[in-house]
Amino acid sequence: FDRWLEALAVNDKEVVALLWQVINEAINPNRTRKKMVLMVGDGNNGKGTFQALLENLIGRSNISNLKPDQFGKEFYLGALEGKVCNIGDDISNKYLDEVSDLMSVISGDPVQVNKKSLQPVEARFRLLCIFSGNDLPRARNKTMGWYRRLCIIPFRADFNGQKERHEIKDRFIKNKELLEWVLFKVLNMPDFDSFIEPEAVQKMLSKYKNDNDYIKVWVENFYIPNGWHEINHVPMFIARNKLKEFAEDIGIDKPKLGQFSNAVMAELEKTTSYKYSAKNGTVSSKFYDVLDPQGFQRKRFVKGIWGIHLEDEDLG
């Protein structure tokens, strides 16, 4: 069993220790560390088998299967009643517009549970939320409160090309003696107040924070690569339309773009050596084709128009 866990963790001893802690809280959620566990990795890497182990330890009837986006939907939270653990398998990277109820469940705070044809009731759930998938969903919430609740465990093992061992899932992790040994070991673990944070987990959280900021991603992957950072004056409506298209392409149905220029300029000034401001200005004719290749907006360019202005006059 220890060798199997080490294989899942690619011999990272800290990740192995964290997996033991996850098992501990999964079977005893009354002692919550106020985290949700996100197991992330492509392909045949053992996530499903680890989840199956948890199901065998906890009992299928004690587990709910909500995915992150379902916590914000009406009538879904009732599925958590009486459960010890929630395991949402194969989650999508669908944008999470609302995560307040999910955050409350994770931290054991009260939430309102709506049931069809019944009065809403207030409930406080004690269960560990575990999700797994190939990718992570972006969220509108970008506060430390959201990031603080995330424990993102990378599953980097690659069992592709190896002879498939059905006996691991079909027999090994169902073995009564093995399950009793795991339970004994878990119940006799030293007490811990919080999950450890291996370097691999810290790197995953840092990457998620970066990817979750769609304005930052847009600046890094569109604005700068297309040379907009060196344009003397980018009309705000042009930037806004392009950012809106980008946000919708990654699944954000109604991106909130009020004051987006402040975030864009802040990111530009962190990434480049230039200074920017939002003000009226005109676009230099040498940048017309870059900003408006079809020529539909040229008349607006020659007038004073609100935009992201490059303060380096030599470039403008």
Q: What is the pLDDT of residues 266-303, one digit of tens each?
A: 999 999 999 999 999 999 999 999 999 998 888 888 88
The residue written with tokens 């200074």 in the block is 275
Q: What's the pLDDT band for 80 if we cut at 50, 70, 90?
A: very high
Question: Position of tokens 């492509």?
Answer: 42
pLDDT surpasses 70 at 4: yes
Name the domain boundary from 180, 207, 234.
Answer: 207
98 and 175 co-located in one domain: yes
User: What domain count does the chain have?
Assistant: 2
Are 131 and 252 within one domain? Answer: no
Between CA 300 and CA 126 the distance in angstroms is: 58
* Nearest alpha carbon to residue 26 among 150, 186, 193: 186
Full-model pTM? 0.85
Of 129, 130, 132, 168, which Cα lies nearest the Cα of 43?
A: 132
Mind listing the pLDDT tens digit for each residue in 25-42? 999 988 899 999 999 998
Residues 111 and 134 in one domain: yes
d(CA 178, CA 160) in angstroms, rounded, equals 26
Chain centroid to Cα 277, Å, comes to 32
pLDDT at residue 167, rounded to an integer:
74
Tokens at 178, concatenated: 């093995």
CATH number of domain containing 203: 3.40.50.300
Structure tokens at 248: 């919708």
Residue 295 lies in a domain: yes
Query: CB-based contacts of 21: which residues, under 8 Å, 6+ apart?
Result: 33, 189, 192, 195, 196
20 against 44, higher pLDDT = 20
Please check whether residues 271 and 130 belong to one and the same domain.
no
Where is the domain boundary, 177, 207, 237?
A: 207
- Confidence at residue 314, expressed as pLDDT on a 0 to 100 scale: 55
State what percent of residues in the chain have pLDDT above 70. Answer: 97
Residue 302 in any domain: the answer is: yes
Same domain for 76 and 220, yes or no, is no
- Which pairing describes strands 36-40 and 150-154: parallel, antiparallel, or unpaired? parallel
- Residue 258 scores a pLDDT above 90: no
User: Which one is predicted more confidently, 47 or 298?
Assistant: 47
> What mean pLDDT value characterizes the chain?
92
| Residue 316 forms part of a structural domain | no
Among candidates 235, 240, 250, 251, which has minimal Cα distance to 291? 235
**Per-residue confidence (pLDDT) for residue 250, from 0 to 100:** 86
Kindly give the residue spans of alpha helices, DSSP state H, lying in the chain: 2-8, 13-27, 47-58, 100-107, 144-148, 166-170, 176-187, 199-212, 214-218, 236-249, 260-271, 288-291, 298-301
- Residue 315 belongs to some domain of the structure: no
pLDDT of 238 over the 70 cut: yes
Please say which residue of 149, 182, 207 terminates a domain: 207
201: in domain: yes
Q: What is the pLDDT of residue 313?
A: 57
63 and 20 inside one domain: yes
Q: Both ends of the chain: CA-CA distance in Å?
A: 64
How much is the average pLDDT of 137-155? 96
> Token pair of 134, please?
């190939």
Q: What tokens appear for 262 in the block?
A: 């402040």
> How many C-beta neighbours within 10 Å does residue 221 have?
11
Range of the domain at 199: 2-207
Same-domain check for residues 35 and 151: yes
User: What integer pLDDT is reported at residue 161 of this predicted model?
Assistant: 62
262 vs 161, residue with greater confidence:
262
pLDDT in tens, 85-116: 999 999 998 899 999 999 999 999 999 999 88
The reply to whether 149 and 227 lie within a common domain is no
Report if residue 131 sits inside a domain. Answer: yes
Give start and end residues of each alpha helix (H) in 46-128.
47-58, 100-107
Q: Are residues 7 and 152 in the same domain?
A: yes
255/200 same-domain check: no
**84 pLDDT higher than 60:** yes
Q: Are residues 228 and 201 in the same domain?
A: no
Q: Which pLDDT does position 179 carry in this prediction? A: 96
* Same domain? 173 vs 202: yes
CA distance 54 to 179: 10
Question: Is 43 inside a domain boundary?
Answer: yes
CB 167 within 8 A of CB 63: no
269 lies in a domain? Answer: yes
**In this predicted structure, what is the pLDDT of residue 29?**
87
